[in-house]
Chain A
């Protein structure tokens, strides 16, 4: 449960660290690129949170260096540089996710959880299960109990993402990015509308809720309330 935060701004670093410590993580902080690089290599972390602008070694070079030395720890980039090309650059150099400053802590937390649970590439599942809901990724059939549920392509992707992150909070931004490829905030309630339609489809004839709303943050899928 160890996380390394590489952030040169003392205030941001302690804000992230104290939040994560409250969540039960053990947090190390490095304020300098080279020092952080050494720590990331010497110790075992579950997730690295890397700011792009670091003294002595910038985040992009740092992550490139880690990947060439075979450190596979998931990396979440934090940056004030939020352009699409910056994001692409971050993901191309070996980052796993990218969060633009300013961010809400709930957003950071949800993304860290998602990274922690990301399965190694070798363990690609073909079947997802949450409670009595089952999704076959090969035949693209969704069943709840014995009932087949007809989903549109976007709804299927939405449900797949929720099920892959079952038990975790996923934010609206994460859903927009992963399900719709929207890297901006739509002005209409895209996510909420589709979630409610999906709920209607998978709850038809069932009483148990599987998709829970987490107030102010997003959604969580789980078989228990």
Chain B
């Protein structure tokens, strides 16, 4: 029973029935009152008419106890002279005397051995005679009784109808909710591909179902991404770990001199560091996603950062027989985290340098345009095929061409995370030959948006055809 009380369905039904009942009771009270008033008025009219007639009779002198049939059945009268003696009467003489209509008496009057409710009026004639005329209210009482009974039945019928209506309505409504519940229950139990069926009615339930389905799709996508990242991570970390193991094992079995051991240990350390670096990059990406850095933003000089990059990387390009050109517009400011911005730019610039052959031209451009500050990093290296341009921002993704080079495969994911944090839009295009990376810094950081920290989101990645 208590469980029944707790269901929305039951409560809704009860509420409907009560509403119906209130409606019916109100209707009844009003109509009952109107009907009774109408009937009373008729009784009163009758009394008035009788009085007029009897007064005429009395004045004509033809009213006395000799002709009691003057009055119709159901009408009672009492005529008293000025001394209070009754002349004509079929009313008990104890009846009170009033000049207006009244129910006589508060207690029923016994007439012909039965008690009757009467309504009566008294008039005082000019000669001091009092005439009281009463009407039996039996008919009225019967009518009232009939009305009350009819209403009782009506109320019972309406309540049943209300309960039925409520039950039907709530069953229809809540059946959909129950369906959704069941489906979600299935999903909780591991059937992640289950979806809530739509009825095609485009009502609220369909909308709710569609929203839940979209949410499920999104969750599934995120889970898939997470699984992919875990697999990639395990895969990417297994390689250096097993390599390290082989090296150590080889040293254990074959090393004969101290140099051999030292060399093995050095190599193991190097591999260990690579693994650790992968982990810190992953941690870094996760931390960036949480948006905690945003409170630490301040005005930074982009121009200064670019100048440092030029000064730092020109010699490095030179060592590889490449040329680094920089065109930097001075005094360009941006609101952000200078260390992160530096890390992002270094990552992109180093990619350009590392993936380009000797003789390549690398350029670094920072300029102000109408839409805001724009940075462009280009190289004349092998470039990135259009089909791969989105993928290279995924974690652990490697182009076939760079499979052999070292790296965690997380650099660009980190770049994207930093760009997202600052609301910077990154786009890749063809440099004919090579790759052109364009960074569009927002005018102000008001257009930053929040996003989940689990995966690199590609909202800010625009394909340039």
Contact = CB atoms under 8 A, between A and B. Distances in A.
* Bind each other: yes
Interface of A: 82-85, 88, 100, 102, 152-154, 180-190, 193-194, 197, 216
Interface in B317-345: 319, 337-340, 342-343
A85 B296 contact: yes
Contacts of A188: 313, 316, 350, 353-354
Contacts of B83: none
A154 B343 contact: no
B342 A181 contact: yes
B311 interface: yes
B342 A194 contact: no
Contacts of B385: none
B296 A189 contact: no
Contact of A187 (B308, B340, B342, B350): B350
A190 B311 CA distance: 11
B277 interface: yes
Interface string B284-305: 1001000011001000000000
B315 A194 contact: yes
A171 B292 CA distance: 30
B293 A84 contact: yes
Nearest to B295: A85
Contacts of A88: 296
A102 B276 contact: yes
Interface residues of B, number: 30
B242 to A, nearest CB: 20
Contacts of A85: 292-293, 296
B241 to A, nearest CB: 15
B346 interface: yes
Given A82-B280, A82-B283, A154-B311, 6 more contacts: A83-B284, A181-B339, A182-B342, A183-B343, A184-B346, A188-B353
Contact of A193 (B283, B316, B339): B316
B312 A180 contact: yes
Contact of A216 (B266, B283, B296, B316): B266
Nearest to B318: A193
B101 to A, nearest CB: 92
Contacts of B287: 83
Nearest to A80: B283
Given A82-B280, A190-B316, A184 B311 contact: no
B407 interface: yes
B338 A153 contact: no
A194 B343 contact: no
B292 A193 contact: no
Contacts of A153: 311
29 contacts: A83-B283, A83-B284, A83-B287, A84-B339, A84-B340, A85-B296, A88-B296, A102-B276, A152-B311, A153-B311, A154-B308, A154-B311, A154-B312, A180-B312, A184-B343, A184-B346, A185-B277, A187-B354, A187-B406, A187-B407, A188-B313, A188-B350, A189-B316, A190-B313, A193-B315, A193-B316, A193-B319, A194-B315, A197-B315
A82 B282 CA distance: 12
Nearest to A179: B312
A181 B338 contact: yes
Given A83-B287, A181-B338, A216-B266, A190 B293 contact: no
Contacts of A82: 280, 283
A188 B343 CA distance: 13
Contacts of B407: 187
Contacts of B316: 188-190, 193
A24 to B, nearest CB: 24
Contacts of A187: 350, 354, 406-407, 411
Contacts of A216: 266
A84 B343 CA distance: 12
Nearest to A154: B311
Contacts of A197: 315
Nearest to A197: B315
B302 to A, nearest CB: 14
Nearest to A88: B296
A56 B166 CA distance: 62
A180 B308 contact: yes
B203 to A, nearest CB: 48
A183 B462 CA distance: 29
B384 to A, nearest CB: 17
A194 to B, nearest CB: 7
A116 B337 CA distance: 31
A22 to B, nearest CB: 18
- From A154, A185, A186, name the one whose CB has the most chain B CB atoms within 10 angstroms: A186
Interface in B378-410: 406-407
A44 B342 CA distance: 40
A114 to B, nearest CB: 21
B341 to A, nearest CB: 11
B346 A182 contact: yes
Contacts of B308: 154, 180-181
A154 B287 CA distance: 30
Nearest to A152: B311
Interface string B37-74: 00000000000000000000000000000000000000
B413 to A, nearest CB: 14
Interface string B343-361: 1001000100110000000
A190 B347 CA distance: 13
A72 B338 CA distance: 30
